């Protein structure tokens, strides 16, 4: 299933700055930082969502007791590795890109599953491993996300972050982060006070090496919670911004898509606004360009659609494609992940992209 590792590429502009000189120290196209999570996926009726008090399509953080309660109400489930930025890195690797990931896991079965799966698809994973301290049960296990998929293919998530909550700035592997030509951050991390500082450190490290910083807005409620932080990032730090229409409107306080696109254009960043079946709009300083969604016969589960869009986009960006082709590749990757349960690619994305003429060239 995972494509073979990519052939050696011409050294990028970060080679000189890469720490050490061994094969481990090669530059990476993208380093993602996010919550290391395993998804527990079950098909559910709207009644289960209602009984659990969950808002369809959203992601809610839940404590261990509530996670157990919701799990007990769920039907038979499938466990599959997830985590927003981790899914994106899996997609970049499946396309043949060099992807790295930083996330915090515990030394438990769930952590082993996460570690196995992300490495098996070809991502260089730098785990931050929680020390067993026998302390607060809320924080000691690897995180998991309960994903309820309704008949309309929409996904609703209740996430117990577990040990991911405790990722701190001190634990950030800065040499590893510095190897990324792009550093990709998930907005969900702003829900964690400690991780916010770690993200600041990652951004500083990336900028020190002339890397690009990309952010995914993650979830409209997440944007509401951290609007001021995100607007500061947009103003001071970011190069690339990903979000769906709802999230981007929430960020800019825009009533219409058009107003949101104008605000996006004013930022001067590269902004990709996804719109589900309506495709996406890429905004550059030269204006917005609409790109259609890739056709899909039957949508099963939209989990990971945004994550895999970002994967295709970032692969394109680091392989010499223009913004429109980046968006096309993003749309292609998203179209694969919504045809099955789970947010990691199952088909050979590199083959699909090659067939579509979207692999681009090494930069």
Interface region with a copy of itself, contact rule CB under 8 A, candidates 58-66, 79-87, 244-252, 287-295? 79-87
Q: Which of 54, 70, 85, 90 binds a copy of itself (CB under 8 A)?
A: 90
Interface region with a copy of itself, contact rule CB under 8 A, candidates 76-84, 152-160, 185-193, 268-276? 76-84
Show Cβ contacts of residue 130 under 8 Å, excluding neighbours closer than 6 positions.
Answer: 104, 105, 106, 107, 139, 140, 163, 166
Nearer to a copy of itself, 43 or 356 (CB): 43
Q: Are 199 and 227 in contact (CB under 8 A)?
A: no
Q: Is 120 in the site for a copy of itself (CB under 8 A)?
A: yes
How many CB atoms sit inside 10 A of residue 256's CB?
Answer: 10
Nearer to a copy of itself, 34 or 187 (CB): 34
Q: Which of 116, 131, 208, 235 binds a copy of itself (CB under 8 A)?
A: 116
Q: Which of 26, 81, 156, 163 binds a copy of itself (CB under 8 A)?
A: 81
Distance set, CA 143 to CA 34, 229, 359 (Å): 11, 24, 34
Distance set, CA 173 to CA 17, 61, 128, 323 (Å): 15, 26, 8, 30
- Six-digit token string for 140: 């000691």
Q: Is 108 in the site for a copy of itself (CB under 8 A)?
A: yes
Q: Which of 46, 57, 60, 71 binds a copy of itself (CB under 8 A)?
A: 71
Interface region with a copy of itself, contact rule CB under 8 A, candidates 11-19, 23-31, 115-123, 260-268? 115-123
Q: Which of 97, 211, 312, 342 binds a copy of itself (CB under 8 A)?
A: 342
Q: Are 90 and 123 in contact (CB under 8 A)?
A: yes
Q: Is 42 in the site for a copy of itself (CB under 8 A)?
A: yes
Helix axis angle, 84-94 to 305-317, nearest 10°: 50
Segments of 166-325 assigned E as strands? 180-186, 212-216, 240-244, 270-274, 280-284, 287-291
Q: Is 80 in the site for a copy of itself (CB under 8 A)?
A: yes
Nearer to a copy of itself, 150 or 284 (CB): 150
Shortest distance (Å) from residue 337 CB to a copy of itself: 13
**CB burial readout 215-250, b (16+ within 10 A) else e:** bbbbbbbbbeebeeebeebbeebbbbbbbbbbbbbb
Kindly list the residues in this chain that would bind a copy of itself in the complex (CB under 8 A).
1-2, 42-43, 71-72, 74-81, 90, 108-110, 113, 116-118, 120-121, 141, 342, 344, 346
């Amino acid at each position: 299933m995972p494509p073979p590792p990519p052939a050696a590429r011409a050294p990028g502009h970060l080679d000189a700055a890469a720490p050490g000189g061994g094969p481990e120290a090669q530059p990476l196209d993208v380093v993602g930082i996010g919550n290391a999570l395993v998804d527990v996926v079950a098909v559910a009726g709207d009644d289960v969502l209602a009984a659990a008090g969950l808002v369809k399509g959203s992601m809610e953080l839940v404590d261990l007791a509530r996670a157990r309660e919701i799990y007990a109400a769920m039907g038979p489930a499938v466990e599959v590795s997830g985590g927003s930025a981790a899914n994106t890195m899996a997609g970049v690797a499946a396309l043949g890109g060099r992807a790295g990931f930083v996330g915090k896991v515990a030394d438990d079965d769930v952590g082993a599953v996460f570690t196995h799966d992300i490495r098996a698809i070809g991502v260089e994973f730098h785990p931050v491993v929680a020390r067993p301290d026998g302390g607060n049960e809320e924080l000691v296990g690897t995180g998991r996300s309960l994903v309820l998929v309704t008949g309309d293919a929409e996904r609703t998530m209740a996430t117990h972050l577990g040990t991911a909550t405790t990722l701190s700035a001190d634990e950030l592997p800065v040499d590893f982060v510095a190897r990324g030509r792009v550093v990709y951050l998930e907005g969900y991390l702003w829900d964690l006070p400690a991780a916010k500082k770690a993200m600041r450190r990652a951004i500083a490290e990336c900028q020190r090496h002339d890397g690009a910083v990309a952010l995914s807005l993650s979830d409209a409620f997440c944007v509401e919670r951290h609007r001021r932080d995100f607007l500061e990032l947009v103003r001071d730090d970011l190069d690339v911004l990903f979000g769906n229409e709802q999230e981007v409107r929430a960020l800019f306080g825009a009533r219409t898509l058009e107003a949101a696109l104008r605000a996006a254009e004013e930022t001067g960043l590269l902004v990709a606004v996804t719109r589900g079946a309506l495709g996406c709009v890429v905004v550059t300083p030269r204006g917005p360009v609409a790109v259609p969604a890739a056709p899909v016969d039957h949508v099963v589960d939209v989990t990971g659609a945004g994550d895999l869009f970002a994967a295709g986009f970032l692969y394109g960006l680091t392989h010499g494609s223009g913004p429109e082709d980046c968006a096309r590749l993003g749309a292609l990757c998203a179209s694969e992940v919504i045809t099955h349960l789970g947010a990691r690619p199952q088909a050979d994305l590199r083959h699909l992209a090659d067939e579509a003429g979207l692999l681009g060239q090494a930069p």
